[in-house]
Amino acid sequence: MKWLMVGIIVGSTVLADLLQSFEMKRHTVAVEDLRPGRLVGMLRGLAQRGPLVLAVFFMAISFFAFMKLLSVADLSFSVPVTAASVALETVLARVVLKEKVTALRWAGALSVACGVALLAM
Amino acid sequence: MVEEEAQIASVGVRRVDLKTKLLTAFVIATNVLGNFSMSWGMKHQTTDLGLSPLAYIRLIFTPWVLLGTTLLILWLLSRMTLLGWADLSYVLPVTSIGYVMSAVLGKVFFGELVTWQRWLGTGFIVIGIICVGLTAANTTQQEPAG
């Protein structure tokens, strides 16, 4: 059950992050939109974007799987182990989102992935 | 690869500005506190959840889980905004400090065992964050609006 939940969390998180990053880059939110008076309008705008709605759907799946995981495993296991998505998402950011991932960033992502693996032990 | 790095450098590396740093800090704080509240609420609930969705929905309205859920909604929205301002491959490692903080909170408040492997892992994550923090935040498009 524990590892099934981890698999569901990682898979749905990867899909949600790719969709969010893709869509938010297309229509960036300005600092002014974060002011209280414009927040509702901004949220309404976000809710009308298909890729974001789909991303939230995947995040909801991840959220409920995370709740289940927390009820059967330690916090200090549950949180780090779900970060297994970092390495996978960095590769997909390069391939799918065409981000320019420099050697230093690859090294950093690899170091974080190693760290997360150690935390999950 | 070298050409690509030179190209990024020539654009002025689009340094990480103050608002991106502040938003990153907010994303990390809401994530860590949200996970902590959720975990506290889940550990102090007494009913067997099973796989029934209704049990989970009822659980959401208990105080700690509700606080955790609210913080995680704020985290979701702020992170979404941050993803518009910075690369996914930048946001992921930099916000990973939250994993370290969660491990520390787990030890302090829940008495969870933090082994030497976990502390070593923490060291790797911190080094990774420093490496990624030295790179450009946004390599795919113009400066964020605002």
Q: What pLDDT score does B14 carry?
A: 52
Q: Do B125 and A59 touch (CB under 8 A)?
A: no
> Residue B26: is its pLDDT beyond 90?
yes
Report the alpha-carbon distance of residue B37 to residue A30 in Å, rounded. 30
Q: Do B81 and A56 touch (CB under 8 A)?
A: no
Q: What pLDDT score does B48 carry?
A: 65
Q: Do A83 and B35 touch (CB under 8 A)?
A: no
For B90-130, the pLDDT digits (tens) are: 888 888 788 778 778 878 887 777 788 888 888 888 888 88
Residues 6+ apart with CB under 8 A from B105: A75, B32, B36
Residues 6+ apart with CB under 8 A from B14: B136, B137, B138, B139, B143
User: Sign of the C-alpha dihedral, residues A21, A97, B130, B7?
Assistant: negative
Average pLDDT of every residue of chain A? 82
Residues of B in contact with A90 (CB under 8 A): 88-89, 92-93
Residue type, B73: I
Average pLDDT over residues B71-84: 88
What percent of chain A stands above pLDDT 70?
A: 92
Q: Do A78 and B141 touch (CB under 8 A)?
A: no
Tokens of A98: 């065409």
Q: Which residue in the set A85, A99, A116 is minimally distant from B87, CB to CB? A: A99
From the list A91, A89, A86, A68, the residue with the least C-alpha distance to A3 is A68
Using an 8 Å Cβ cutoff, are B41 and B59 in contact? Answer: yes
Report the alpha-carbon distance of residue A45 to residue B81 in Å, rounded. 13
Q: Do A103 and B1 touch (CB under 8 A)?
A: yes
Average pLDDT over residues A48-70: 87
> Chain A neighbours among B 12-71 (CB < 8 Å)?
19, 35-36, 38-39, 42-43, 45, 49, 51, 53, 56, 59
Average pLDDT over residues B63-81: 89
Q: Which residue has the higher pLDDT, B3 or B42?
A: B42
Q: Which residue has the higher pLDDT, B58 or B95?
A: B95
Residues of A in contact with B12 (CB under 8 A): none
The ipTM, to two decimals, is 0.74
Q: Which residue in the set B102, B114, B131 is minimally distant from A79, CB to CB? A: B102
Q: Do A83 and B96 touch (CB under 8 A)?
A: yes
Average pLDDT of every residue of chain B? 78
Q: Which residue in the set A43, A85, A100 is minimally distant from B4, CB to CB? A: A100
Which chain B residue is nearest to residue A31, measuring alpha carbons? B146
Give me the total of CB pairs closer than 8 Å, taking one residue from chain A and one from chain B. 213
Report the alpha-carbon distance of residue A88 to residue A100 in Å, rounded. 15
Question: How near does any CA of chain A get to the CA of B52, in Å?
Answer: 11
Report the alpha-carbon distance of residue A101 to residue A20 in Å, rounded. 18
Q: What pLDDT score does A59 carry?
A: 87
